[in-house]
Amino acid sequence: MFNKKFEETLSQITNSGYDEKTTIFLKTALLDLAMEHVQDMKSLENKYKNRIEICETRLDKMEEQFQRLEKELFESDLDEEAEFEPITCPYCNANFMIQRDHSIMELECPECKNTIELDWGAFDDDM
């Protein structure tokens, strides 16, 4: 669009009937304006390229952080087969979770410190 308008304006200057000195002056002024416009466009292009690079860098960093977070949350170092059981203390009604381990027959309540006897058979029936 700019090129078409530029060419039309040059043609009008050439065909306007001005003397040669005025025609050269007008064409030079128009060319200077066009070059200034091109420089402004290049400056804006560089400015936006820099902004895009910054945004892309930030986006890459965010993606890396999300990947680390996802790995941390969903790819635990714990055995993926590990199952946890909810426990309610019969003495103080405290609720907590323990990892299912049939070799543990009793544990201490973290709240009241009373010993709780475990019956894993009752937990297996829940499945």
Contacts for 7 with CB less than 8 Å, ≥ 6 apart: none
Residue 15 tokens read as: 């065909």
Query: What are the pLDDT digits (tens) for 77-90?
Result: 554 556 888 889 99
**Average pLDDT of span 22-50:** 93
Strand partners, 115: 108
Is residue 113 domain-resident? yes
Is residue 32 domain-resident? yes
For residues 43 and 97, state if they share a domain.
Answer: no
For residues 69 and 104, state if they share a domain.
Answer: no
For residues 10 and 44, state if they share a domain.
Answer: yes
Residue 38 tokens read as: 């091109």
pTM: 0.41
Helix (H, G, I), strand (E, B) or coil at 116: strand
Domain that holds residue 29: 2-74
The amino acid at residue 71 is: K
For residues 6 and 67, state if they share a domain.
Answer: yes
Find where tokens 């960093």 sit: 61
Contacts for 74 with CB less than 8 Å, ≥ 6 apart: none
pLDDT category of residue 29 using cuts at 50, 70 and 90: very high
For residues 28 and 48, state if they share a domain.
Answer: yes
Number of compact structural domains in the chain: 2
pLDDT category of residue 76 using cuts at 50, 70 and 90: low
